[in-house]
Amino acid sequence: MAFIYGRNDIPVKPVKNSQIAVLILAAGSGTRMESELPKVLHPICGRPMLFHVLRVALALKPASIGVVIGHQVEIVKKSAQEMFKECSISKPPQFIIQKKLLGSGNAVLESLPFLKKFKSVVVLCADTPLLTYESLYSLIQNHQAHNNLATLLSAKVSNPKGYGRVIRSPLGEVLKIVEETLATPKEAAINEINSGSYIFEVNALVEGLKEIGAKGEKKEHFLTDILEILRSKGGRIGVHLTPNSEEALGVNTRVQLAAAERIMNRRILERLMLSGVTVKDPASVHVDCDVDIARDVIIEPFVMIAGKSKIGKKTRIGAFSKLSNVEIGAECEIEMSRLDSCRLMDRSEIGPFSHIRPGSVIGPKVRIGNFSEVKASRIGTGSKVSHLSYIGDAEIGDNVNVGAGTITCNFDGKKKNQTVIETGAFVGSNVNLVAPVKVGRQALIAAGSTITEDVPAKAKAFARARQVNKV
C-alpha cells in the first residue's frame, strides 16, 4: 500500500474521477479563537489545522485544490504555499479571495469561476482537522453511486451544540440542515450534525447558490441552505454518516482546539504502538505528527516529542523528557532531559537533567551526564561529559574525558569563540577553557585550571595557583 508524506495512517486509494476538485474554506475570521493568529494556522500536533485538511485533500488526488482565503490573506496564503512545497506538490493550490466574509455560501459563490472547470467539487472546512481519507473516499463513492447532486458527510455526536443539525424525513431522507442559531428546540435536540464536508455537482451548485439568501444576525449566506434548495427543485441529495464521529469535530474555540489535539495525539500514539513502540502511559505522552519512531523504542510517562523528529530502534526516552526536531540513533538512553534541534548518534546517553541545544552533533557512544548543557558542539565517539558542564561552540574529538564542572568560556562579551579538544585529551574537573583555545591530542589539563592558551598534544597543563599550607 502506498503512503503519503511519511505518515502511515493515510493509505492512498485514489478516487478515479479526475473531474473532481477540492475546495477548502479558510476565509473565516475565527473570532471565537480570540487570537491574533488566523484560526486555520493554529497548530495541532505540530502542524497548522489547514495543513491537516490540505493533506487529506491531497490524498484524494483531485484534479485541483482551491483554498478560499479572506482573513489575513497574505499570512494564510504564504503558509499554504509552504505546506504544498513540504508535501512535494509542485502545482500550487488555487487561491480564491473572498472579498467580504459573508458566510460559507458566499465563499463557495466566489469560487465558482474556479469550480466551473470541474464536474464535481468536494467542499471541506479548514477547521475540521480530523477528517479521514476513508470517510471522504466513502462520501465520494456514495455520491457517485446514487447520482446525487449533493451529498453531505454527517456524524452522530453526544453533544451537537454549535453544529448544523441534519433534518431527515420519517423515511430517513435528508431534508435540510438547520443551523443552531435558527433551530427550533425540537430540531436542536437532534444529534446528527453536519460535518461541514460535502460533495456537489458543480452545475447544481451554480443553480442553487443563486438562491441562497442572507440569514441570521450577521446576514450570512449559509452553504448549508443549498441542500433544501436543490431538494425543492427535485434534485437528489444524500448523506453519508461517518461511523467515526470524532472526525467531524470543528474547531471554533481553544477548547475544541485542545480536544482536536488530544484526539490526533491519541491516533498518532496508537499508530506508533501498533508499529512496535512501547508507550507506557499514552495519557501523559505527546507526540507530533511528523515524528518517526522505530520499533522497540520505549517512551516513559510525561514525554513530549515535537516537530520533525526521528528516533532509532531500542532507544529509551525517560520520563519528563522533551525532544524537539531531533534525530536520535539506536539504543540511546535519555533520562529527564531537554533536546532541541540536535543529533544524537547510536548508543549515547543523556541526562538526567541535561540540555542539548541546537546545532549539537553527539556520539556515537557518548555520555552527557547529570546537569550538563551542550550548545552547537560536536562531541566524538566515546567521549564523556559526565557532570555539571557547559560545552558551547566546541569541537570535541573521540574518547575525550571532560571532568566535572568544566566550562567552555565561549563568549567574550561581543562574539562566540570556539574551543577545540582533540582526541584522547583528559580535562580535569572544574576547568575553564577560555575560547578561542585548543587542547591537543592526549593532552592533560589539571583540575581547577583556567586555560587561556593552546595546549600542545600530549602536554600536561597546570594553570592554577600552587597550594600553600600555612600553620
Q: Are strands 355-356 and 378-379 parallel, antiparallel or unpaired?
A: unpaired
Q: Is 62 in the site for ligand UD1 (CB under 6 A)?
A: no
Q: Is 127 in the site for Ca ion (CB under 5 A)?
A: yes
The residue number whose beta carbon is nearest to Ca ion equals 250
Distance set, CA 328 to CA 278, 301, 308, 331, 434 (Å): 16, 19, 12, 9, 30
Alpha-carbon span 124 to 10, nearest angstrom: 17
Alpha-carbon span 73 to 99, nearest angstrom: 10
Nearer to ligand UD1, 109 or 443 (CB): 109
Q: Is 28 in the site for ligand UD1 (CB under 6 A)?
A: yes
Judged by beta carbon distances under 5 to 8 A according to partner kind, the member of ligand UD1, Ca ion, none in contact with residue 350 is none
**Residue 240 contacts residue 153 (beta carbons within 8 Å):** yes
31 three-state secondary structure: helix
> Applying CB under 6 A, which of residues 51, 198, 222, 390 lies at the interface with ligand UD1?
222
Q: Is 111 in the site for ligand UD1 (CB under 6 A)?
A: no
Residues 242-281 interacting with ligand UD1 (rule: CB under 6 A) = 250, 252
Alpha-carbon span 288 to 378, nearest angstrom: 27
Angle in degrees, CA 344, 305, 46, rounded to 5:
125
Residue 463 corresponds to which cell in the numbers above?
Answer: 594553570
Angle in degrees, CA 357, 410, 419, rounded to 5:
90
> Applying CB under 5 A, which of residues 252, 429, 430, 450 lies at the interface with Ca ion?
252
Q: Is 138 in the site for Ca ion (CB under 5 A)?
A: no
Helices and strands in the chain, H and E counts:
9, 43
**Residue 395 contacts residue 369 (beta carbons within 8 Å):** no
Nearer to ligand UD1, 193 or 334 (CB): 193
> Applying CB under 6 A, which of residues 102, 339, 420, 433 lies at the interface with ligand UD1?
102
Residues 160-219 interacting with ligand UD1 (rule: CB under 6 A) = 163-164, 177, 179, 193-196
Alpha-carbon span 398 to 441, nearest angstrom: 10
> Applying CB under 6 A, which of residues 33, 93, 106, 355 lies at the interface with ligand UD1?
106
Q: Is 298 in the site for ligand UD1 (CB under 6 A)?
A: no
Total number of residues that touch ligand UD1 (CB under 6 A): 30
Q: Is 135 in the site for ligand UD1 (CB under 6 A)?
A: no
Shortest Å, Cβ 165 to ligand UD1: 8
Tell me whether residue 387 is one of the annotated catalytic residues: yes
Residue 133 corresponds to which cell in the numbers above?
Answer: 481519507
Shortest Å, Cβ 39 to ligand UD1: 7
CB atoms within 10 A of CB 24: 27
Total number of residues that touch Ca ion (CB under 5 A): 3
Q: Check the CA dihedral 192-195-201-206 and report its sign.
A: positive
Site residues for ligand UD1 per CB under 6 A: 25-28, 68, 70, 98, 101-104, 106-107, 125-128, 163-164, 177, 179, 193-196, 222-224, 250, 252
Active site residues: 387
Interface residue list for Ca ion (CB under 5 A): 127, 250, 252
